[in-house]
A and B are shown apart, each in its own frame.
Chain A
Amino acid sequence: MEDLIISVLKRALIAGTPLLLGTLGEITAERSGILNLGVEGMMSLGAISGFMVTFATGNPYLGLAVSVLAGAAFSLIHSFVSVTLKANQVVSGLALTMTGLGVSGMLGKSYIGRPLSVKMMPVELPLLHRIPFAGEVLFSQDIYFYLSIILGVILWFVLRHTKAGIAVRSVGENPKAAESQGIRVSAVRYACVAVGGAFAGMAGSHISIAYSKSWIEGITVGRGWIVIALTIFAMWNPLRAFYGAFLFGGIFVLQYILQPLGISPNLLAMLPYVTTLGILVLYGIGRDAQRRMHAPAMLGEAYHKDER
């Protein structure tokens, strides 16, 4: 029994890792006022680029690094369209998703059915992994997991306790006020979107080189969309993203546990998405006034500098 619990918890954390990474990225972008619905596309591109590099070099760490760069680079399209050209962010984000899915599908064609010979292996942290139970669940994970936790805490600290964080939040709340204090609004937004892309790329490569080790088209199966919902669930707070992401990781794992009970796997596969809808509905009821106070006030609004 204890083995089962350990295994379930451990797998929930693994399944939650890409969700956490993606959510941290989206929080960064949205805090600066840019809504990026391209997470699914950036994740996909991160997944294929990480997979290709790992396949070619046999080094998953190199795969990870490249996926981060690929996500960040790809997200520049969104910054250019929505920050520089001030086009509609929803449309631009959707385009990014479709482009990312399309390009990664095309790049991945020849890799279908050819699994990696190496994948990202778990790293047991010295000493810590010997702690009973917790050691097995928390400290025998792969590097993605450790990074997601560390980066989450760093992001929280930066947003809350540094000048840069105050600048980012101010740009999302009131870009005109930020600019009047000498902050370069566009530069901040570009940077935040790029960080968001880097996180999404990293989340993608987790799926392709740590979670599974083969490529199939549409490997992200809507996780990018769950990330968008989790960002709201987390109220744009990196620490709250932890609960949400690992809760959803648990729901992914639940599918496999419930399957032997004779419930249709197709129904079970719907679980994370149904839960997403459920959470958004719950959030919409009653508490909307409080919730709105947490959303960056200028989320999704382009900033027109020379206008009155």
Chain B
Amino acid sequence: MKKITGLEMAGISKSFGEVSANRNISLSVSSGEVLGLLGENGAGKTTLMNILYGLYRPDKGTIRINGNPVAIRSPRDSIRAGIGMIHQHFMLVQNHTVLENLILGYDQAPMVLPHRYMRVRVAEFEKKYGIHIDPDKQVWELSAGEQQKVEILKALLREADLLIMDEPTSVLTPQEADDLYRVIRRMKDEGHSVILISHKLDEIMSICTRVTVLRKGETVGQAEVSAVDKAELARMMIGREVMFSFKKTPREPGDVVLEVRDLHVISDRNVPAVRGVSFSIHKNEIFGIAGVSGNGQREMVEAITGLRKAKSGDIVLEGSSIVNESARVVNSRGVTHVPEERIKFGIVPNLLIYENAVLKQHTMSPFSRVMFLDYDSIRDHAMELVDRFQVSAPSIHVPTKNLSGGNIQKLIIAREIHRKPALLVASHPTYGLDVGATEYIRSQLLIRRDEGGAVLLVSEDLEELFEVCDRIAVMFKGQIMGILSPGDRDIEDIGLMMTGSIGTDTPKEQGE
């Protein structure tokens, strides 16, 4: 007995403070349908779905299930109505076991000693849907793909008829994504409905039956997938014709800039995160690191930039070792860093734009004399950066947190790149940015490469890596599984390397 045969959202509006995230949005979905919710980052897709799931309350608008208006005040209400949601950032308690995560809020489980009951239920569902996870593992031990399976299991256990998935493939390898598509098709065949949030056109075209496109918080189009093509959807999503238009000119790699030899690094959890990584980067080269995040990329970048101690191994920059030097020394030797989590580590959000523009150089001439800051030269410098790197800001006298994500990232790139560093380390530099900013930042990386710089680019976005990199290393469980050049372009191989199924030149050690 299905609880939901048709669901409709009508005239939904929601704002956060002065920012209006959703304006008068409507959509509908019925059983056996996979609805794609397409839009760029910041278009309001997630907000809209969080409203449907009861995490946010709409300012205006109604939700109807099977034609009857319903009030969804909290996830409790939506779960009861038969709605399940798989969030982009998984809603799992990392330090708890899979079983405990499944028990959380599960009404049928007994109050006392629920573990045993749940174990039986999980086994049933595993058999039915072919999803296998060790229920006694702690969530942090699982890969992103496995965590997503826990989320799916959670929704299935609650008998969700409508499943919302927020960019479910963004953390998956291509093989894991195929697995997920199989699960989605299976659910569709069983009469469930699925709303799939995505900004990947291929994904929408291959799995969805219908699509609703959002732009800047408004509905800009709805269509049967069979009746539209990719170009048309892209135009709806972005509002203009867009084609990535860099010309990557072939370059002969120059001298070695950075050499990493047998690097070992320990993570915050006190387990080996980087286990014997070696590679070198040359002048005129962008060296990419592919891999699902959490496979040691962060720790490796932190070791190279001086933010984390290496356990063993060597890091050589232009002939001299920088291993275990402080971040300041590493920076002054010519390594600059565009960190992941830009708001947390890239800027001081409450400081003004011109102050952030000179971070890390504020102790150097001409910004500082004896022990005082020279604000005139700092402001002149900030003005210059903002102009040159197209940071759109009302003025340089506003707190940096007021800028959009894309402009914050442009400011960081400006700060890190204008000194022409020997090595630029960029972690997920375009994550969560809109197409325009993404395009701009990638082109800046290429410019730096053509000027003779070396760039280390860590990204989960394979398209990005193929577009800008000269060589790509794939990391898995702290090791490099292989180094490819984009000419190889074998996406299946990369996928297998990302899951550790194959490695080309690194002998596989025994896993722990």
Contact = CB atoms under 8 A, between A and B. Distances in A.
A47 B110 CA distance: 38
Contacts of B87: 180
Interface in A168-188: 169-170, 173-174, 176-184
A103 interface: no
B74 A163 contact: no
B105 A308 contact: no
B105 A181 contact: yes
A290 interface: yes
B93 A174 contact: yes
A163 B91 contact: no
A166 interface: yes
B490 interface: no
Given A163-B109, A169-B93, A173-B94, A180 B85 contact: yes
Given A180-B53, A180-B87, A181-B104, A163 B93 contact: no
Interface residues of B, number: 37
B144 to A, nearest CB: 16
A183 B95 CA distance: 18
A162 B268 CA distance: 30
A182 B75 contact: yes
A147 interface: no
Contacts of B268: 289
Interface in A268-296: 289-290, 293
Interface string A45-63: 0000000000000000000
Contacts of A183: 104-105
A178 B56 contact: no
Given A166-B103, A308-B47, A177 B113 contact: no
A162 B104 contact: no
Contacts of A166: 96, 100, 103-104, 114
A290 B270 CA distance: 8
Among A161, A162, A169: residue with most chain B CB under 10 A: A162
At the interface, is chain A mostly helix, strand, loop or mixed? Answer: helix
Interface residues of A, number: 27
A169 B16 CA distance: 30
Interface in B84-139: 85, 87, 90-96, 100-101, 103-106, 109-115
Contacts of A161: 112-113, 115
A182 B76 CA distance: 4
Among A164, A166, A289: residue with most chain B CB under 10 A: A166
A251 interface: no
Given A163-B114, A167-B105, A307-B16, A181 B75 contact: yes
A153 to B, nearest CB: 14
A302 B482 CA distance: 44
A90 B76 CA distance: 31
B94 A297 contact: yes
Interface string B219-245: 000000000000000000000000000
B104 A164 contact: no
Contacts of B115: 161
B91 A182 contact: no
Given A167-B104, A181-B105, A183-B105, A174 B111 contact: no
Contacts of A177: 90-93, 101, 104
A67 B319 CA distance: 71
B79 A182 contact: yes
A2 interface: no
Contacts of B95: 173, 293, 297
Nearest to A293: B95
Contact of A163 (B53, B85, B101, B111): B111
A3 interface: no
Contact of B105 (A173, A182, A293, A305): A182
Contact of B57 (A164, A306, A307): A306
B105 to A, nearest CB: 3
Contacts of A170: 93, 96, 100-101, 104
Contact of A174 (B94, B103, B106): B94
A22 B493 CA distance: 58
A163 to B, nearest CB: 5
A162 B94 contact: no
Contacts of A167: 104-105
Contacts of B57: 306
B55 interface: yes
A180 B75 contact: yes
Interface in A127-167: 161-164, 166-167
Contacts of A305: 55
A120 B16 CA distance: 57
B269 interface: yes
Among A176, A182, A289, A306: residue with most chain B CB under 10 A: A182
B22 to A, nearest CB: 12
A285 to B, nearest CB: 14
A308 B55 CA distance: 10
Nearest to B95: A173
Contacts of B56: 306
B91 A162 contact: no
A178 B111 contact: no
A191 to B, nearest CB: 15
B85 A173 contact: no
A178 B55 contact: no
Nearest to A308: B16
Contacts of B75: 179-182
Contacts of B104: 166-167, 170, 177-178, 181, 183
A307 B101 CA distance: 23
B313 to A, nearest CB: 21
A180 B83 CA distance: 11
A183 B16 CA distance: 24
Interface string B55-77: 11100000000000000001110
Contacts of A180: 53, 55, 75, 85, 87, 91
A289 B309 CA distance: 15
Interface in B261-312: 268-270
B113 A174 contact: no
Interface string A238-282: 000000000000000000000000000000000000000000000
Nearest to B268: A289
B489 to A, nearest CB: 37
B167 to A, nearest CB: 15
Given A182-B76, A293-B95, A306-B56, 10 more contacts: A166-B100, A169-B100, A173-B93, A173-B96, A174-B94, A176-B91, A178-B93, A179-B74, A182-B75, A182-B105
**Closest 3 interchain pairs by CB?**
A181-B105, A182-B76, A177-B91
Interface of B: 16, 47, 50, 53, 55-57, 74-76, 79, 85, 87, 90-96, 100-101, 103-106, 109-115, 154, 268-270
Interface of A: 161-164, 166-167, 169-170, 173-174, 176-184, 289-290, 293, 297, 305-308
7 contacts: A162-B114, A163-B112, A170-B93, A170-B104, A174-B92, A174-B93, A179-B74
